[in-house]
Each structure stands twice: as structure tokens, then as C-alpha cells.
Amino acid sequence: MKSVNQHNRILRLFLSSLTFILLFSAQLSAQEIDSTQVRTGKKIFNANCASCHKLEKKFTGPALGKIEERRTNEWLKAWIKDNAALRATGDADAIAIFNEYNGSVMTAFPQLSDTDIDAILAYTTHGDIDKVVVAGGGEEVVEKEPSTAWMSYVVLAVLILLVLWIYFKSDNQFLKLVSTIALLLTVAYFGYQAMMGVGLDEGYQPIQPIAFSHKIHAGENKVDCQYCHSSAKHSKHSGIPSLNVCMNCHKSIAEVAETTQVMIGEEKLGKTELDLEIQKLYDAIGWDADNFAYKENYEQKPVKWVRIHNLPDFAYFNHSQHVTAGGVKCQTCHGPVEEMDELYQYSPLTMGWCIDCHKETQVDLKGNEYYAKIHEQLSKKYGIEKVTVAQMGGMECGKCHY
């Protein structure tokens, strides 16, 4: 086992040095282009053009990668600033491209200066120069914390040997008695632990039908939790987003960036795999990415996610109570979801866990008229400024069990 680890480490070292060299060379070549211009161009492109154009692929409009090789700079400037005027001059190229896209009119951008357009064009020619840099830095070696489990095994083995020795070799009756008691206590302790663990699903991480990464969505792209889980603020259920919500973004995002990686279990998924995962979404809802349209008469197939957080039927939980009324952050119970590629159950979801929180959490009563009078009376009763959920009655059985 160790040797394999070692081997891996050597391999990784080799690979990272190799990438470093590659990267260095890439940066070397990048020296020749005006990186500031390209970066400005990217910014302007993303702000103005990206909703209809991609570099490599046809989208609402044509692919713009290396467009300078196909059109002259003057023509492009004329087209971008006012394509209708260009077409009115009877420019054959302009009319041809207009007809190719079924007469859909491109927005005119008279506000873009020549410098801006040059920057955009630089970007379309050289592409994303920062991407490579990120790829080089992304190859980090993650050191796992060394496991301490072996220590407890050693201790246990020593103890067992000791007890065996006392039983078979020793004549000391007192020692035997003590060791028997110790043994029984140990067994009881472990037995109790094991029994208490029955039905506990902390860390439950089932395989989902789509390798969906919360890290990419909530973490890197900072999509608000409640953008997708929109019923959390209204309802007892947080709600799993319906596919049309996914499509709000994924209509435009048909593929991930080159460097995107997702860890599902021990498996690392790269662009090739992840693009296929997005394809699963399109298959479910019937989206034709090439023609940028929903397929007609398509038999849509719902996605059957595996539910991770399961409360028993006899426990009533309401998301909106906690999210809207209580102002609790999602991460309080669900953990650092924005760092999870593959989601797992972060909290034990036991009654003790609920109650602990209810005992400690102070209710923020400011700005909510519902609490105004209650707060005044309660703080007088308990002689305190702030009251906990439990003092508000959040520990009564019937509040969650009915």
C-alpha cells in the first residue's frame, strides 16, 4: 500500500514538473501578445457578446474564434457598430450572414469604440490566455491527513493481550475481577455506540443519476442556494429544482470549461465526462443543443435523484420556518455545500442535534412584528435580553411531532 502511495507521489511530482515546464513555455509564447488587451477584450466580450456568441461553437450567432482570419478588421467594426447600416449598403457578406441566420437581427453596438472592438478581436484570436495558467496551478497535490485509526487498533490489541495474559497466566484474582469489569464496560461502551449509530446516516453520500457538483454551482459560480431550491423560503420542502430551472442557465452552458474537474467518490471526472453529464439533462428535458431549441413531441424523462436527507414521517420539519422566519443559513445544517463536489449528509439529523440547536440558538426578533409583544413579555419573564428557540416553545414535543 505504502509503496503504491510512494509511486503515485513520484508520478505526480513528475507530472507536475512537466506541466510546469509546459506552462512556462505557454507563458513564454504568451509574452508575444498583449495580454492586457486580450483580458480587456474578454471582459467586453463576456459583457456584450457572450449571450449570443461562443468562440468555438455556433450558438445564437456564429462562432467567433479566429474571426479575424475570415473577415477584415474594417468590415467587422462596421458590422458590430451598426450591422443594419452595413446591410443597407448592399454588402454581400453582410446580407449573406444575415440570411444564414434566418434574418435574426444582431443588436447594434454603437457604444463600442474601435479600441474596444480591437480588444474583442484580440480575444477572439488568442482565446482565453488565463485558462492555461489556471490549469497549471490547478494540479495541486492534496495531502490527506494521516489516519489515526491504527492507533486505537494497537491499543485494543494490547488490551486484549493483557486480558488474555491475566486470564491464563496470572493467579491474581483481583486482577481477573478488574479485567472482567473492564472488559464488560468496554463491550458495553462499544455496543452502545453501535446501537446509537443504527439509523444514523451522517455522511450518507449516495451515487446520484447525474454527477452534479454543488462546488461548481454554489461555490465557484456563486449561484444562490435558493435560486434552485426556491421553495425553501416558502415551504416545508426545500425543493429539488425542476429541470426548467436548470435550463435557465444550461441553455447557454452546454459544456464545461477545459479545466473543470469533479471528484465523484474516488473518481475524477474531467471535461469529457462532465459534458456527458450535461447531456443527461438535455436528454431528460429534450433540448436540442445544436439547434438551440426544445425537441417537439419529445418524451421527457424526469431525473430520479436519490434523496439524502431523510427525516422519519413522525418528525415534522419546515424549511421556511428556519430559512425565512429564523434566518438560518443553509450551511448551518447542510455543511459547506459550496465545497462539496458530491453532496453528503453533513449533520446527524437526530433529535438531540435538533434540540441542542434549539437550546442554544437565540431568536433574532428584530424587525419581525410577530415577535414584538412576545419578545417583550418573554424577556421580562426570564429577565434577559435575548431568548432562545427553546424558550419560545421550540422544545415542545408537539411542535415537531404531529
Footprint on this chain of other proteins (rule: CB under 8 A): 195, 198-199, 201, 204, 206, 230-231, 234-237, 239-245, 284-285, 300, 302-307, 310, 312-316, 318, 320-321, 324-325, 367-374, 377-378, 381, 392-393, 396-399, 401-402
Shortest Å, Cβ 280 to other proteins: 13
User: Which CB sits closer to other proteins, 356 or 376?
Assistant: 376
Single-letter code of the amino acid located at 312: P
In the complex, minimum distance from the CB of residue 248 to other proteins, in angstroms, rounded to a whole number: 12
The span from the CA of 197 to the CA of 201, in Å, is 8
* Shortest distance in whole angstroms from residue 8 CB to other proteins: 33
- DSSP, residue by residue, 89-140: TT-HHHHHHHHHTTTPPPPP-TT--HHHHHHHHHHHHH--HHHHHHHHHH--
Q: How far is the CB of 295 from other proteins (least distance, A)?
A: 13
* Closest CB to other proteins among residues 183, 374: 374
CB 356, min distance to other proteins, A: 18
Q: Which residue has cell 506552462?
A: 23
Smaller CB separation from other proteins, 159 or 337:
337
Least Å from the CB of residue 142 to other proteins: 30
Q: How far is the CB of 176 from other proteins (least distance, A)?
A: 28
Which residues are registered as beta bridge partners of 185?
A: none
d(CA 368, CA 357): 21
**Nearer to other proteins (CB atom), residue 106 or residue 246:** 246
- Judged by beta carbon, residue 9 or residue 234, the one nearer other proteins is 234
Beta bridge partners of 293: 288
Tell me, what DSSP letter sits at residue 144? P
Question: How many beta carbons lie within 10 A of that of residue 5, not counting itself?
Answer: 10
For 143, the grid coordinates are 495531502
Q: Which is nearer to other proteins, 131 or 236 (CB)?
A: 236
Work out how close the CB of 205 gets to other proteins at its nearest, in angstroms, rounded to a whole number. 12
Residue 262, classed as helix, strand or coil, is: strand
For the bound state, the minimum distance from the C-beta of residue 230 to other proteins, rounded and expressed in Å, comes to 8
Closest CB to other proteins among residues 18, 240: 240
> Which of 131, 60, 70 is CA-nearest to residue 290?
60
- Quote the CA–CA distance of 393 and 399 in Å, as a whole number: 8
| Cβ proximity to other proteins, 177 vs 240, nearer residue | 240
| Residue number with CB closer to other proteins (154 or 315) | 315
Question: In terms of C-beta density within 10 A (0-12 exposed, 13-18 middle, 19 or more buried), how is residue 38 classed?
Answer: buried
176: buried, middle or exposed (CB in 10 Å: 19+, 13-18, 0-12)? Answer: middle
Give dist(CA 93, CA 211) in Å, integer. 44
CB of 302 to other proteins, least distance (A): 5
Pick between residue 92 and residue 195 the one whose CB is nearest to other proteins: 195
Q: What are the grid coordinates assigned to 2, written together?
A: 505504502
CA 123, CA 49: separation in Å to the nearest integer?
Answer: 12
Residue 81 has a CB neighbour count (10 Å cut-off) of 17
Cβ(316)–Cβ(402) below 8 Å? yes
Cα separation, 153 vs 173, whole angstroms: 27
